[in-house]
Amino acid sequence: MSTVTVEAEREHRVTLPSLAQCKRRGHKISMLTAYDFAFARIFDAAGIDVLLVGDSLGNVVQGRETTLPVTLDEAVYHTRLVSRGARRALVVGDMPFGSYQVSSEDAVRSAIRFIKEGGAQAVKLEGGVRVAETIERLVVAEIPVMGHVGLTPQAIHRMGGHRVQGRTSEGRSQVLDDARAVQQAGAFAVVLEGMPADLAHEVTRELSIPTIGIGAGVNCDGQVLVMHDMLGLSEWTPSFVKSYANLGALVSKAARSFSEEVSKGKFPDEEHSYR
Ligand code: KIV
């Protein structure tokens, strides 16, 4: 590939400035989770702006009840796979529980692994006021940070389950304070998860950085979904999820056909055999 082609490709890459510009121009940002090369390549070619290697991998890839057991090694490994499939999209590595809570130094060390080993352009971490100092420290180290406030799955035990946040006036103030703290600390964008649509709208109007909603209504600057949920690969999905395909049924049908043809000696036929 010539240097000119490489440069031209780079110009079209989604970057922090281009996401900021999306907010200014009112262009909505699309983000999907991805955990491997194959899906990253498809989503990237389809024009998805941001690929999030979510710690939801604990649920949808590893089959765990919560995201808490996901390790830093696992998250960095999946980030590396996704980065190989992303030519245009911005890749964000999600910092798993335990990789940034002990100290800011620890957080910087963990985040550097996402950039150096995982090939990510940014990291995401959960929390607002509580993690503002950590975000500041990461930003000083030139590591772009996406915040995540509202329903934060790593706080499942404190929240008593995956509960919508910001429904009381106290909860509403907390979400607003968290979002402000994340922006003030230097995050380039923030995920708003599981909150009333009008609260997400208020946060989006107040912040100058883009907000990416999940279960937070239409008035965010962008939207994110977990790929298994929107593709019909999850056993159960929350009510805010829209199903865009039923891959579960398609894959099941293909596997049944294969099994049947193998048992009847119909596969492989002449066409699929070497001579
Ligand atoms: O881990 C994840 O997939 C996430 C999204 C739900 C935003 O954090």
Q: Tell me the C-alpha distance between 85 and 17, whole Å.
A: 22
Provide the residue type at 261 as one letter.
Answer: E
Q: How close is the Cα of 98 to the center of ligand 1, in Å?
A: 16
**Of residues 135, 146, 126, the one with CA closest to residue 108:** 135
Query: Of 193, 202, 260, 270, which residue is the catalytic one?
Result: 193
Is it the case that residue 8 has pLDDT exceeding 80?
Answer: no
User: Could you report the per-residue pLDDT of 56-81, keeping only the tens digit for each?
Assistant: 999 999 999 999 999 999 999 999 99
Beta bridge partners of 33: 52
User: Could you report the per-residue pLDDT of 169-179, keeping only the tens digit for each?
Assistant: 999 999 999 99
Q: Is 193 assigned a catalytic role?
A: yes
Q: Tell me the C-alpha distance between 187 and 146, whole Å.
A: 5
Look at ligand 1, atom 2, and give the residue with the nearest C-alpha. Answer: 54
Q: How close is the Cα of 170 to the center of ligand 1, in Å?
A: 25
Mean pLDDT, residues 30-42: 98
Q: How confident is the model at residue 229 (pLDDT cuts 50, 70, 90)?
A: very high
Length of the chain in residues, anyone? 275
User: Could you report the per-residue pLDDT of 79-101, keeping only the tens digit for each?
Assistant: 999 999 999 999 999 999 999 99
**Of residues 132, 151, 40, the one with CA closest to residue 92:** 40
User: Rounded mean pLDDT of the chain?
Assistant: 96
Angle between helices 72-85 and 104-116 (to 10 degrees): 30
DSSP state letters, 116-142: HTT--SEEE--BSGGGHHHHHHHHHTT
Nearest atom (ligand 1) to Cα of 212: 7
Spatial CB neighbours of 102, under 8 Å, sequence gap ≥ 6: none
Mean pLDDT, residues 225-240: 97
Mutate to test the pocket of ligand 1, among 91, 224, 233, 237 (most ligand atoms within 8 A of CB): 224
Nearest atom (ligand 1) to Cα of 225: 6
CATH of 3-244, one of 2.60.300.12, 3.20.20.60, 3.40.50.11890, 3.40.50.2300: 3.20.20.60
Contact, 91 vs 119, CB < 8 A? Answer: yes
Q: Tell me the C-alpha distance between 90 and 68, whole Å.
A: 25
Is it the case that residue 4 has pLDDT exceeding 90?
Answer: no
What dihedral angle (degrees, nearest 10) is formed by the CA atoms of 205, 210, 211, 217? 60
Q: Domain locations in the chain?
A: 3-244, 247-275
User: Could you report the per-residue pLDDT of 190-226, keeping only the tens digit for each?
Assistant: 999 999 999 999 999 999 999 999 999 999 999 999 9
